[in-house]
Structure 1
Amino acid sequence: MRIVFLMPTYYPDSFGGAERQTRILARSLRDRGAAITILTPTLQAQAAGTDDQPEGRVVRLPMRSDPALGGRYVFSMLHFWFRAFLWLARHRRSYDVIAIQHLRLHAWPGLVAGRLFGKLLSAKLGRGGEHMELRRLPAQKLPFGKLVVSLARRSRLIFVANSSDIAGDLAALGIPADRVARVPNGVECPMEPGAAYRAPDGACVFVYAGRLAQEKRVDRLIEAFRIFAAEHPATLRIFGSGPEKNRLIEQAAGLSSVRFMGVTDDRDAIYGGAAFMILPSDSEGMSNTLLEAMAYGAVPVITDVSGVGDLVVPGQSGVMLADNTRDAILEGLVTAGGLDAAQWAAMSAEARQRVCEKHAINVVAEAYLRLYREMADDRLNRAPPARGRDIGSAEAGVPAPVGQ
């Protein structure tokens, strides 16, 4: 199987969940004999070009501005459309599948190339709820978002939903069940849990890992932690970068319990010794941070956004925030910090078991390969795809054959 992942951004331009998920999936697929190419824009001239990485061949097309934003960057978007389509056309005999990661404006060349060249075509949705791409793109002032959504709806594209919430959102938007495949995000599970109930100094360690952007509500987390840490020995480690970074550092000035740790791909450094992972986002798809933290045994403290219900059972495998206001986050911190050692250990073990049994990256990679083989069989036989069921879903320990 020869697969092109079409990305809105990739390393070294961004270090978010989509990039992390694509990297570990591509490596696992490559280990199973798949030929992988990652096609992406880059804003860094020194990164432009083609190079071989452990996850496969990475082709970075140089751009002046982010082509997935559109708006005032419309010329960069059109430039990427042209360059990416030209690459897909020139190399059309070297790949079988175009796998679009997140259905944003960067998707247009993949949708058109898939249709013109008869390639298998899938698109993985990034988020659910009101933030889902199929809802947000048509609302843009310029017509390009509507164009992308129209092409996606009219193509033989298979929508990949990584959570039951996203699958439900697709159904509500009128996407037929036979065009939806449930494949969860995957995670590399360490051999042993790295989380700890308390740090050597007795402090309870909370970790936030992700983009420092407004929708993540890290500002509210800092304010809640300011109150919490005044009465409890606790530390908040914040990993990541983003547009809110400088403002958040200024907000936390003088607060010794909050530490900004920068950007790292070292999961041991992020989750080792942590008791809890906290994520008060407005929305998610299926959070990589959530999966990774649970795999390490860090107990999640999280808002009930898309994908969380597939993983977190309140009181068993995590703490669910009532909301992501400052007061609700503070209440979650108090609940988590009030767990005794035995309660925390039981919750940590349950969290790790739920993820490592059902979301291990090898299980997810096999599910994708089966999905693509099934799509190829459907195309060969000119029959409607027999999808609409889970393919290695969060409810199944191993990928279940479609139709069962």
Structure 2
Amino acid sequence: MKILMLTCQYMPDVFGGAEKQCGRISKGIKAEGVDVHVLTSRQKFIGKANEVMNDVPVTRLYSPIAPDLLGRWLPFSVYWLIRVLIWGMFNSKSFDVIHCHQGKFGAFVGCCLARFFKKPILIKVGNSNQYMDFKALKSKKIVGPIMACFVLKTNPTIVAISGVIAQNCKEFGFKNIINIPNSIDKSLINTDSPILNDKNDSVINLFYHGRLEQIKKVDVLMEAFALLTKKHKQVHFHLIGSGSVLPAAKKYIEENNLQNKITFYGEVDDPVNFINQFDIFVNASEAEGFSNSLLEALLAGKVLVSTPVSGASDAIFTDENGYISTGFSAAEIVKSTEGGIALHNKNSGEVQSYSEQLVASKFTVGIIAKQYIKLYTKLLGAS
């Protein structure tokens, strides 16, 4: 059994959630003895076309612009599609199943590949509700609806990483849907890692780490933090990551004279162990597939607070390891965070133990890899 992992971009060029999951699952499936190959793009003409990452071969086909942008960059998307199909002509015997990461333009490319070479295909969907992958693809002018219709008629197997996404895909018209959550690699956490910064035990250290983009609602997160400081003098916030909304977040903090209550770190090399020094993860995002940042905080055994986005209810259990807010406003996030503070003060050790058991039973790479292998076997049996 030979699996082709298809993703428009890949690490180290992009460290998004889909790319992280592609890497983790590829490594996990390889560890189970299954042949895996990642096919992706590269934007540097002089660069590695072929390499091995975590024991998994990676082929990068050159495209001057990231191929999934479409719009005015459509010619580059078409160019990459042609490159992929030509690659398939010469390598069709090197893969039995196509595994697409995200249901956007890459899913259209994967379905073309599947139809041309009569291979079964599965598509892992990475976001939910109004941002659901296929809705995002369909929204692209002119070509988007055509591509989305083509994918739908191909009748791929859809992997939904949460119940919300499964319902979204069913409403879109897909028939073959299976739920498999995102994974986390337990080896990422170093239980013996030292505390990176000295901190006062009387201070409650709140944190968020990840991409700082509009969809993550960092502005609402900062507003919630400002409200919290009026009621809880002992809180300190730590914001880890970079993105387009970071300057606005810093400006808001300055305007509200909260510079001594928040620390900005930018990107860090080892986020899982870096966040190990903090107490409560707070996520204000308006949409997720299944947040990698949430999974990483779960792995670190932190108290979890999140808006009611896709995946939150799979990882957060009220009074056990955190709280899900009733809505997306700053006031609602504050209320859930106050519950998180009380839970941390009451039994943070029990929270860690509960989360460790949850990770071990549902989210480890080994468990998720086995679920995918079972799915691949089923697809091959049906083809």
Q: Shared fold by TM > 0.5?
A: yes
C-alpha displacement at 1:350, in angstroms? 2.2
Give 3-state SS (helix, strand or coil) of 1:93's partner: helix
Shift of the alpha carbon at 1:56? 1.0
Q: Distance in 2 between matches of 1:199 and 1:293?
A: 20
Unaligned runs of 5+ in 2: none
Cα offset for 1:139? Answer: 2.6
Aligned in 2, Cα 1:342/1:194: closer, same or farther, shift over 3 Å?
farther
Alpha-carbon distance in structure 2 between the residues aligned to 1:323 and 1:213: 19
1:243 counterpart letter in structure 2: S
Q: Provide the TM-score with structure 1 as the length reference.
A: 0.85
State whether structure 2 residue 26 is matched by structure 1 residue 22: no
Question: Are the equivalent residues in 1 in contact too, given 2:7–2:38 (CA < 8 A)?
Answer: yes
- Comparing 304-313 with 370-379, greater Cα deviation is found at 304-313
Q: 1:143-167, CA deviations, whole angstroms, 9 ceiling, x for partnerless residues? A: 2x22222222122411111112212
Higher relative helix content: 2
- Partners of 2:78 and 2:141 in 1: how far apart? 16
Q: Give per-residue Cα distances to partners, 1:8-39, cap 9 Å, x unaligned.
A: 32112211111111111111111112222222
Hey, what does 1:290 align to over in structure 2?
A: 294
1:351 offset after TM fit, Å? 2.8
SS at match of 1:92: helix
Counterpart of 1:136 in structure 2 is 136
Measured in 2, the distance between the counterparts of 1:155 and 1:204 equals 51
Q: List aligned pairs for 1:33-48, cutoff 5 A.
A: 33-48=33-48
User: In the alignment, which residue of structure 1 is the partner of 2:326?
Assistant: 322
CA distance in 1 between partners of 2:281 and 2:244 (Å): 22
CA separation in 2, counterparts of 1:248 and 1:374?
48
Aligned to 2:183: 186
1:55 is displaced (CA, Å) by: 4.7
Partner of 1:150: 149
In 2, the alpha carbon distance for the partners of 1:164 and 1:199 equals 41
- Mapping 1:3-402, distance limit 5 Å: 3-143=3-143, 145-176=144-175, 179-189=176-186, 190=189, 192=191, 200-202=199-201, 203-229=203-229, 231-253=232-254, 255-339=259-343, 341-379=345-383
- The answer to whether the 8 A contact 1:69-1:77 is kept is yes
User: Which shifted more, 299-308 or 46-55?
Assistant: 46-55
Aligned to 1:382: none
Contact 2:303 2:343 in 1 (8 A): no
Q: Given that residues 85 and 110 in structure 1 are in contact (C-alpha distance below 8 angstroms), is that contact kept between their aligned partners in structure 2? A: no
Which consecutive residues of structure 1, in runs of 5 or more, have no partner in the other structure? 380-404
What is the CA-CA distance between 1:232 and the residue it aligns to?
2.5
Distance 1:167-1:19 versus aligned 2 partners, 3 A rule:
same
Q: TM-score, normalised by structure 2?
A: 0.90
- RMSD (Å) for aligned C-alpha atoms: 2.4
- In 2 relative to 1, CA 329–129 (structure 1 residues): closer, same or farther, beyond 3 Å? same
Q: Please state whether the residue corresponding to 1:339 is helix, strand or coil.
A: helix
Distance change (3 Å), C-alpha of 1:87 and 1:238: farther
Give the Cα separation in 1 of the matches to 2:279 and 2:344: 12
1:393 matched residue in structure 2: none
Percentage of pairs with the same residue: 25
Query: In structure 2, do the counterparts of structure 1 residues 340 and 239 end up closer, same or farther at CA, with 3 Å as the change threshold?
Result: closer
Find the aligned partners of 2:84 and 2:139 in 1 and give their Cα distance: 25
Q: CA deviation at 1:271?
A: 2.5
Give the length in aligned residue pairs. Answer: 375
Partner of 1:130: helix, strand, or coil? helix
Residue range with higher mean Cα deviation, 133-142 or 72-81: 133-142
